[in-house]
Amino acid sequence: IFSHTMSRLTFTLLLIFLYTFVQVSHTQILLKSGKRFQGSLNDANKMLTGTHFPKSAVNKGVSEITVTQKVDHFDALSTDTWSQRVFINDTYFNAATGIIFFLLGGEGPMGSSSVTDHFILAKYAQQFGALIVGAEHRYYGGSNPTPTLNVEQGLRYLSTEQALEDFATVRNFVVDKYLSHARDTAKVVAFGGSYSGNLASWIRAKYPHLFVGALASSSPVLAKVDFHEYMQVVFRSVGTSCGNTMRAATNEYERMAQTEEGRKRLDSLFKTCKPLTLDANNLGTFFSSIADPVCGVVQYNNDNNKYSGSWNITKMCQTVTGGPTPVDGYANFVNQYAEFLGEDCITSTYEDYLNELKNEKTFDQGNLAAAGRSWVYQTCSEFGYYQHAEGGDQPFSTKYLTANWFLQQCKDIYGLDVATVAPAVKAINQRYGGDMPAFTDKIFFSNGDVDPWHALRVRSSAAQTSLMHGTAHCADLYPARDSDVSDLKSTREVFLSKLKQWLM
């Protein structure tokens, strides 16, 4: 469906799926979001179109089951149900311990590797004799309460509150199945990263009798419409020299975009899929498309996710600053990154971007952009998180990559009133406490200072937190390496000590 185009949606998806490891034709493809993906994009496209949708788990020791859920947990009269995909790894499980490690699904499809070697949970499970459970989030992957992503008939049931009820139901189902002899003493720990890190902290707060603790890795618990801090952290993370070079390049690209001759040169420099025009929405799409590769590299810099070794901040900045001019150096990086992803061109029109997200088919109906449609809807209905480039101390286009460009998508894709976004964001912060939650007992919040999402982390002095210097998004959820920075190693040690206390 992308037609091998490097679009903003590609990076929304490539950044949506990095947290989720999906089994595709016996080949493990790493993908992720919110935000800024990984693996071979050609294989990723096969996975996302549903051509090779995983019908059953293939990893040894893993079973795939479904759990019956209500479509609407808050309508007592409704009897509509659906089947949620759940992966279970009992390789290390010792029923006598009564321990379950529960990985909450986030904004992408889940596969069997999520409960095996992709995350550090397998190591922890081996140490504690735990059962590993992973539950896919509603409306991501094959777990769809309705057969459509239409707003009124489907996405109206996509919310954090509905997802938390799903996960609580899965928790009880698994406890009944594997620990029926010890229902009252089962020790279930919630794990999550990024958006699902939010969910892990919130489900522990909402149901402390069901979950004895939670790890919330890189969780942006403060919902925010105006998330300009994201780009500011990108600038700090790449360093002054590299950031200034990017800024000089984008300043020149903005100037070039004002003339027909300049736009033709930009088309040539970046291999745009369609010729650039002076339309502000088209230019917003273009400038977003060339900013997202930078954001993706920064967000997952040196994470142990089987992707970061190909690109990191050092390699990116060597390319950006190594050109004869900033204009050439930045373009060289974007083009090399596109080649790495197997892309032939970048999306340069707002209409093409919207059309991808207007597809109302689900993931398992072959919609490549299903996760992107679901996630962007959640930004409109709950979170905001609009990573615009207005203001200083950031390297991208202040003129076209604006908050309004993001907000307009809520109306143009879903028909939502843009005026409802801010109240929705305010409401979710009031419900869960934002960065100052009232309940933080036995919740461990970890963040990396390279990761732009750490700007929305928990700030409460009562919370158990770790801000790791030199690490990026969800770094502590990935398997340990000897080369891990000292802060990452010590954070894992602190978390393990907390985990032992929770499980006593």
| Active-site residue set | 194, 451, 473
Whole-Å CA distances, 209 to 123, 187, 188, 421, 496: 25, 10, 10, 33, 21
**How far is it, in rounded angstroms, from Cα 263 to Cα 276?**
6
Answer yes or no: are the C-beta atoms of 92 and 126 closer than 8 Å: yes
Q: Which of 293, 287, 413 is nearest to 341 (CA)?
A: 293
435 near 214, Cβ under 8 Å? Answer: no
The residue length of the chain stands at 504
**Which residues lie below 8 Å from residue 161, measured CB to CB, with a gap of 6+?**
73, 74
Rounded Cα gap, residues 270 and 346, in angstroms = 7
25 contacts 52 by C-beta, under 8 angstroms: yes
Map residue 457 onto helix, strand or coil: coil
Q: Which of 195, 219, 236, 240 is nearest to 470 (CA)?
A: 236
User: 192 with 214: CB under 8 angstroms?
Assistant: yes
| φ/ψ (deg, to 5) at 410 | -60, -40
Burial class (CB in 10 A: 0-12, 13-18, 19+), 501: exposed
Contacts of 319 (CB under 8 A, 6+ apart): 329, 332, 333, 336
